[in-house]
Structure 1
């Protein structure tokens, strides 16, 4: 948060009234709810009644979901600003809220929030699937792992499929509100022509062409239900008003989609094996699930990369350029030093996090009995 005002002074001034409203709501309600129950969740096991611990778990969950509301609302306002007016001029201009609910329910906030929620549910479900697939492979905690695996598989199957719906709805919104971003996501350059849908490919910005596997007119059909409907291309916009890293946006967007389709296929096939009563006897599927935890994490990250890089050159779409938003007084050397420092700190925290989580997983949810549970050895 300090970096907003030190590195992004113009940006902070411009969005301060907007972000102040959203993040104040997060701090007062969401963060308060999370912090009130988190201590009981972490340290209350065997110290409070089971129903109290369950209520605390639900409280932390609801607080986290509510926190996501305000963070995504603030970010979505940068993508599709609404419910505001501009006070001042030039670099001293700032946005003020005129309609709080119009700001909250800006054109992209609901679609992006639902998509973000579903992505977080998938990340959680695949973490559970990964841990309990590991236990099943090792013959540990077999009964509880079978139950947990089945519950997580249902969650993963439901939300991997529902991501298709929210993702399509979000893409429709991008087509209307941020056509340059949509064009970058699919490498579409022609001003007003039917657009293909690429399954994979590589964008040559200089030649303005994409080489890859495509469905002719597929993007036109998804956006307008017509294979011949024209889609606004990148050449419809001045070069300074459209994303510069087109291939990066294209690749990140398609990696997200590819992983999403992989998750659908994996969960549906596992559900089929469950229906055939062969799920826990199929060794290779448990191996895949053991390492699948990384997939939704990657999909979530590259999805955000596509969304934020596709918004460029705007930090507030159509109003404030990224090049105008940073602090003029901060030198390049200071920025480099702070980036290196934070990269090292977060890298160390990440290593510590992986170590602690791995230690907890190997320890297990409870002390194992002296009786070894026999299970197929892999």
Structure 2
């Protein structure tokens, strides 16, 4: 394999691994803040115990996300120095804002939350977790602004002397139409992912009759979050699909393996046979759906791969502008299908827990337990579709992927770092799963009562 192929593999592995933790960090921080708000407002002990329990799982995940995120950014200098040189002035701006503003806000107030139990006033301590949660969401915004610029570059110019992209309008970059639709979709998916994790842990304990007073409120919170965030994922995903079709018509055509322009265009639930356009395939189709997904009109025409290829050749010059169609086709369906399965489960759970009931069905508990993998896989397939569907571009319409790789890094160096990172991440995965399972099974901590000692003499509550 060439250095380019290995570098792409390495970036894909580290990105997908890192993104397992990102949605959990975004969603759990807000869910923990909601539980602590309930405790401050009501004074009920079960909300305090739930806050500390879910807060511990959140902190384990947050620590792992920070470690993997730092390693991911190293690759821009290691394997993609040509890309970094070309777009550094533009791409680096939102990333710098994320580090200096959002991550600083997030880490500072998270530190206050960890060490502030019994040392800060209740409302000040509550404000710290809310500000940390806002920081995680802001971090997501600025990082998505950088990624969205790769999908739809705006607010720049190409310097003819240096042949580099230079920032001309930071507001245009931060208000990119791609960012404005990608951000709510990603945040909604993060809440869905975190809520399903909460559902899974609650199911394990409630099926065994453990700590019902603590886990039943968490279960209801998780179920409502699943239904609401699932609906938000569907709505924002629909809007994102229309923007994508306008900006990158090849990506939508590749999502359906649609080679010839169709009006109206149907959506295939699945296909059997080759997806390279060489032969007919058997497919179960839903009429008009692709037209609506792409254009908002069930009778609209959707451009096919062959027509878009010809248009791109006229616009960008000779070349192959088709992504790997089987990967885009199946990742698009797996993203949608795995994400939407969670919503019916949330609706069933809300029905089973109505009017103070606690479910007794083993089928429901088992389904809730196994569902934890669904949104994680959906997120991964979503990023696979987003990034591979843009190929052969690193920055759409400006910079090819094969022009972005580091010229001085050979295949041997990349495969060495890829092997090291894979082994390192494998070890971190074992540690992460071990810690999450151990503390999830341990249940919520006991909260001592009647402690009249001064706050400075009490043990720190973060060491539950």
Match of 1:58 in 2: 130
Match of 2:215 in 1: 145
Measure the CA separation in 2 of the matches of 1:13 and 1:192: 41
Match of 1:376 in 2: none
Measure the CA separation in 2 of the matches of 1:292 and 1:41: 30
Counterpart contact for 1:243–1:309, Cα < 8 Å:
no
Is the counterpart of residue 9 in structure 1 residue 88 in structure 2?
A: no
Measure the CA separation in 1 of the matches of 2:341 and 2:349: 12
Aligned with residue 291 of structure 2, among 220, 245, 270: 220
CA deviations on 1:175-220 (whole Å, 9 max, x unpaired) are 1000000001111110454322122225521526543221123211
Aligned with residue 354 of structure 1, among 433, 438, 449: 433
TM superposition shift of 1:241: 4.2
Counterpart contact for 2:223–2:347, Cα < 8 Å:
no
Q: TM-score, normalised by structure 2?
A: 0.75
Unaligned runs of 5+ in 2: 1-72, 314-318, 449-464
Is the counterpart of residue 292 in structure 1 residue 382 in structure 2?
A: no
Counterpart contact for 2:252–2:294, Cα < 8 Å:
no
Counterpart contact for 2:245–2:295, Cα < 8 Å:
no
Measure the CA separation in 2 of the matches of 1:65 and 1:225: 29
Which structure has the higher relative contact order (CA within 8 Å, separation 6+)?
2
1:54-93 alignment runs, 5 A limit: 54-88=126-160, 93=163
Measure the CA separation in 1 of the matches of 2:297 and 2:233: 23
Match of 1:306 in 2: 385
Distance of aligned partners of 1:368 and 1:133 in 2 relative to their CA distance in 1, 3 Å threshold = farther
SS in 2 for 1:96: strand
Match of 1:195 in 2: 265
Match of 2:9 in 1: none
Measure the CA separation in 2 of the matches of 1:186 and 1:301: 19
CA deviations on 1:57-116 (whole Å, 9 max, x unpaired) are 212211100000110000000001111111136xx5221111111111112111111111
TM superposition shift of 1:288: 1.3
SS in 2 for 1:289: helix
Alignment size in residue pairs: 367
Measure the CA separation in 1 of the matches of 2:124 and 2:299: 58
Distance of aligned partners of 1:88 and 1:63 in 2 relative to their CA distance in 1, 3 Å threshold = same
Counterpart contact for 2:94–2:146, Cα < 8 Å:
yes
SS in 2 for 1:232: coil
Measure the CA separation in 1 of the matches of 2:294 and 2:393: 24
Counterpart contact for 1:128–1:152, Cα < 8 Å:
yes
1:116-127 alignment runs, 5 A limit: 116-127=186-197
Match of 2:332 in 1: 253
| Mean CA deviation greater in 305-314 or 205-214 | 205-214
Distance of aligned partners of 1:110 and 1:336 in 2 relative to their CA distance in 1, 3 Å threshold = same
Distance of aligned partners of 1:360 and 1:255 in 2 relative to their CA distance in 1, 3 Å threshold = same
Counterpart contact for 1:234–1:242, Cα < 8 Å:
no
Is the counterpart of residue 27 in structure 1 residue 106 in structure 2?
A: no
Unaligned runs of 5+ in 1: 370-378
Match of 1:375 in 2: none
Match of 2:303 in 1: 232
Counterpart contact for 1:189–1:208, Cα < 8 Å:
no
CA deviations on 1:313-333 (whole Å, 9 max, x unpaired) are 000001100011111111011
